[in-house]
Structure 1
Amino acid sequence: MKAYRLTSTGTAPEIADLPAPEAGPGEVVVEIAACGLNFADLLMIEGKYQQTPPPPFTLGMELAGTVIARGPGVDAPALGTRVAVMAGSGGLAEMGAFAAEACLPIPDAMPFDDAAAFQVAYGTSHLALARRARLAPGETLLVLGAAGGVGLTAIEIGKLLGATVIACARGAEKLAVCAAAGADHLIDSSREDIRAAVKALGGADVVYDPVGGDQFRAALSATNPEGRILAVGFASGDVPQIPANHLLVKNIDVIGFWWGGYALFNPAALRESMAALIGWYEQGRLAPHISHRLPLDRAAEAYELLRTRKSTGKIVVTMGADQPSP
């Protein structure tokens, strides 16, 4: 089988030919149809992500496909079950062996590319906004990096939770995508003063920040008393230092959020969240935005689109099964 492999930290990954995997105890083999790319993949290539496997390994954190074999001790999922898997790695391949308990059965009506783009982005936004920030109806939510993979899902979920949503992104094209996702107000971060624009709209009660850097600092200044700022990531490469006196004076909470950590200390919260999200998807209330679908042999190009921020929503690499036309 073919797989997109990283052989050593900091080098360019390459397509490799590998033996087909076998299912070990507690594992299933999945014939992979699609793999969603994430910013964390880029950090793994550089050896900077908190859960980077030792090289060599196959890239691709989240995937979707069909169970084709089961290892000893596995009763479910059944052979032929369509599943999404948050595996951490191994998704950019034609097949993979994964823990059976990591497999999430998906509805028949959910295409594999939607499933591969679903868990990290929607899971992050749902738990961050509903559980950690306690976003309430009538509050104002500011989403930074709003046209990205998690940003667009934060807009959708913020609206479902009853918030007024301010979307901040670079350029008219990306802002149009944010508007289509349901944003009430739009801020062009390439030419507008974020702090002034948000304050003119009445300030933010909750800030969803996957960007960090100057945008975090601007949002902090525009957050209302008793507001909550979610530190979701640092795509800018700048981890901001937070002046505690500002938090004190305005009674503001800064809340750290790492979705993957829940698999370690509260997997039940992940299961409950994903069940709610799948329900919303089946009701037609969530619509994953995939700006690019590329085949496995163009995985390097897919990552370059992610690295240079030329995509909106998610990028999905497909293996040729059950996929709509690009």
Structure 2
Amino acid sequence: MRAVLCKDYGPPESLVLEDIEAPTAGENDVVIQIHNAAVNYPDVLVIQNLYQIKPPLPFSPGGEVSGEVIAAGEKVDTLKVGDRVMAVCGMGGFRDEIALPAAACMPIPDSMDFKIAAAMGLTYGTSYHALKDRAKIQAGETLFIMGASGGVGLAAVELGKAMGARVIAAASSEEKLQVCRDHGADDTLLYKTGGLSPDEQKAFSEEIKTLTGGKGVDVVYDAIGGDYAEPAVRAMAWGGRYLVVGFVAGYIPKIPLNLTLLKGTSLVGVFWGRFNAEQPKDARQNIIELMSMLQDGKIKPHISGVYPLEESAQALTQMAARKVTGKLVIDMGR
């Protein structure tokens, strides 16, 4: 079978496409013939040895997949050959087949497109966990999303609206902001890429406050970090919750803790992978609820590009350049 492999850490163009041995199912596993795999920003980091998870070499990037069960272990009684499934695998998705624990796989209806199934697990799982479990967001509250046009950010836009929040989306271009508006954002804020001077940080904070009539935002969803973090904290309302989701800006910010004291705010970490491992029943229930929202039309994953397996490096290069809105998907050509 074909597999895109990271054999030495480096940029996307260092990946290679090779034929490797097909996997077999352990007693509690299934083998999935992959139809589609989603591209996520952690894929860009892990192949450069810049991510907190460091799989042994060689490995295939690709954290979420969809496809068809082609083999099942002797102790598997929840799935059978021919079942259509989606799974968040963490790693190994850029290949034709993958063996996974049956418990990690979610059946999908015949009406669900494989591309949509591949594109929703990680990003919507992360954002729903962030808003529902960590922020406990309430209808009528204001949600400010940084990096709102990316995979997790755009999922947060849709989910925030579905949960009754007023959504302010921030992104780095008017084109990206239009995508956010198309997916339900009530207001938008344009910010520049790169570092911010102290005056620009102050202006950024004031812009956020102005959009809330001076009250400040109840929940900040931060997938960017960097120079934008502190001014976002300064623009929070009393009792606000600041969701630490990621650091696409390139470095981890240092926030003066006196700001949290003065505003009664909470800094809340969001690590969906750990949540999935520590509370698998809760994580699975969240996915069930997301599937219901999808069927009801409350959410709709935005896929901005589809690449064949042979062009996986090009897809990752686009992701690294932050030119992607929503999700990119790798198509195995089935």
User: SS state of the match for residue 268, structure 2?
Assistant: strand
Amino acid at match of 2:323: K
Can you list the C-alpha shifts for 1:32-80, whole angstroms capped at 9, x where unaligned? Answer: 0000011111121122322221111111110000001112322221111
1:194 aligns with 2:207: no
Would the aligned equivalents of 1:167 and 1:185 in 2 still touch at CA under 8 Å? yes
Match of residue 294, structure 1, among 304, 307, 313? 307
After TM superposition, list the pairs within 5 Å mapping 1:100-249 onto structure 2. 100-190=102-192, 193-202=203-212, 203-249=216-262
Would the aligned equivalents of 1:30 and 1:68 in 2 still touch at CA under 8 Å? yes
Would the aligned equivalents of 2:229 and 2:255 in 1 still touch at CA under 8 Å? no
Give the superposition deviation at 1:97.
1.2
CA distance in 1, matches of 2:3, 2:82: 22
CA distance in 2, matches of 1:16, 1:98: 21
After TM superposition, list the pairs within 5 Å mapping 1:79-98 onto structure 2. 79-98=81-100
CA distance in 1, matches of 2:211, 2:324: 28
CA distance in 1, matches of 2:55, 2:134: 28
Give the superposition deviation at 1:244.
1.1
- Equivalenced residues, count: 321
TM norm structure 1? 0.96
Question: Structure 1 residues 138-147 or 50-59, which shifts more?
Answer: 50-59
2:6 counterpart residue number: 6
1:324 counterpart residue number: none
1:259 aligns with 2:269: no
CA distance in 1, matches of 2:134, 2:94: 31
Q: Which segments of 5 or more consecutive residues in structure 2 lack a partner in the other structure?
A: 194-199
CA distance in 1, matches of 2:273, 2:80: 26
CA distance in 2, matches of 1:49, 1:269: 25
CA distance in 2, matches of 1:10, 1:201: 42
Would the aligned equivalents of 2:69 and 2:80 in 1 still touch at CA under 8 Å? yes
Can you list the C-alpha shifts for 1:205-240, whole angstroms capped at 9, x where unaligned? Answer: 100000001111221111111111000000111201
C-alpha root-mean-square deviation of aligned residues, in Å? Answer: 1.3
CA distance in 2, matches of 1:276, 1:94: 29
4+ residue runs over 6 A deviation: none
Amino acid at match of 1:293: V
After TM superposition, list the pairs within 5 Å mapping 1:267-286 onto structure 2. 267-286=280-299
Would the aligned equivalents of 1:187 and 1:194 in 2 still touch at CA under 8 Å? no
User: SS state of the match for residue 90, structure 1?
Assistant: coil
2:196 counterpart residue number: none
Match of residue 332, structure 2, among 310, 319, 324? 319
TM norm structure 2? 0.94
CA distance in 1, matches of 2:136, 2:86: 27
User: SS state of the match for residue 57, structure 1?
Assistant: coil
